[in-house]
Structure 1
């Protein structure tokens, strides 16, 4: 008899979730999405980096989220490594033209930007598709800015912007009903 065998499949299911992110629709058909699946050593490193970023920025919820990362069964990172702009001159990035945005010196904080708004939308759709697939597979998850920000800030992922999707297969969703931070 195997006890709790559902934990044996989390890596395989995480890869299925990454397929949903990869195949999500992309603006103009250009795929600038990068994905990563963290192993157990990476989870500790990411949680440590989140705690470090909390000290640097004075953002307390990073500490709460770091505990969630440590308690997760797996963590997926989905990021954007922008290759340019959609060429629409739509102004959503805050510039009159795509050329103006592309010629602007990029700012590097947690994330690097500015980038084309269409690229940011692509990231949002990919992350949403991944979260939806995780739910379809009955895997508890939560989209986390905090873990993605730390991964980018400390160059754990080759992306300009990233979000994390921690995954958990436990009797209760560990990502909700968490203590609040102030």
Structure 2
């Protein structure tokens, strides 16, 4: 039996996406509590994510959403990570600025540990992708669209997406700061 390079590359991406979720799960968590959700989407769900990113970009007049949606179109799948609202019950913490977990819960302030844990977990995940030579990029825009689509449970308050691709040149870097149809500079990291 023969396997084409494209078929083998797709299998590699699927395997690495699963390994990324595993790496995120085993990453260190504050107080040893896992408050993270992870999903892998492709096909129609990936297309819906890109469409939602375009919708957000048009509604907010933020062209980086449109540029990032094009990146999602070029991706085989997207790994999504979200932080659930949880409180650790730590006395005298105040990392969230609400005094303690009781104050945070009462005021609706998000737990700083949940946010930090998500960042550490995503760092572990992208290191797996990088070690296997799978092109990737952490995208705030994909996370916002995933939240808007309700892909995460209701407990998730913060999400990010990591699209994956195998190609001659990574679609996620050396990309224009604006979408091809726009001359408005993209705010944020790529703004000059």
Same fold (TM over 0.5): yes
Are the counterparts in 1 of residues 86 and 111 from structure 2 also a CA contact under 8 Å?
Answer: no
Q: Which residue of 2 aligns with 1:110?
A: none
2:136 maps to 1:133: no
Deviation at 1:83, TM superposition (A): 2.4
2:175 maps to 1:178: yes
List runs of 5+ in structure 1 lacking aligned partners. Answer: 107-113
- Aligned mates of 2:89, 2:138 — CA distance in 1: 26
Q: Which residue of 2 aligns with 1:72?
A: 75
Q: Equivalent of 1:149, from 144, 151, 156?
A: 144
Deviation at 1:118, TM superposition (A): 1.0
Instruction: Supply the RMSD in Å over aligned alpha carbons.
Output: 1.4
User: Matched residue pairs, number?
Assistant: 174
Deviation at 1:86, TM superposition (A): 4.5
Deviation at 1:65, TM superposition (A): 0.2
Are the counterparts in 2 of residues 77 and 163 from structure 1 also a CA contact under 8 Å?
Answer: yes
Q: Which residue of 2 aligns with 1:59?
A: 62
List runs of 5+ in structure 2 lacking aligned partners. Answer: 179-184, 186-192
Deviation at 1:131, TM superposition (A): 0.6
Q: Which residue of 2 aligns with 1:162?
A: 159
2:86 maps to 1:83: yes
Deviation at 1:155, TM superposition (A): 1.3
SS of 1:75's partner is strand
SS of 1:92's partner is coil
SS of 1:160's partner is strand
Larger mean CA deviation between 126-135 and 95-104 belongs to 95-104
Deviation at 1:10, TM superposition (A): 1.7
Q: Which residue of 2 aligns with 1:50?
A: 53
- Aligned mates of 2:111, 2:91 — CA distance in 1: 9
* Structure 1 residues 171 and 88: CA distance shift in structure 2, 3 A: farther
2:11 maps to 1:8: yes
Deviation at 1:57, TM superposition (A): 2.2
Are the counterparts in 2 of residues 53 and 150 from structure 1 also a CA contact under 8 Å?
Answer: yes
TM-score, normalisation: structure 2: 0.85
* Structure 1 residues 86 and 175: CA distance shift in structure 2, 3 A: farther
Larger mean CA deviation between 87-96 and 9-18 belongs to 87-96
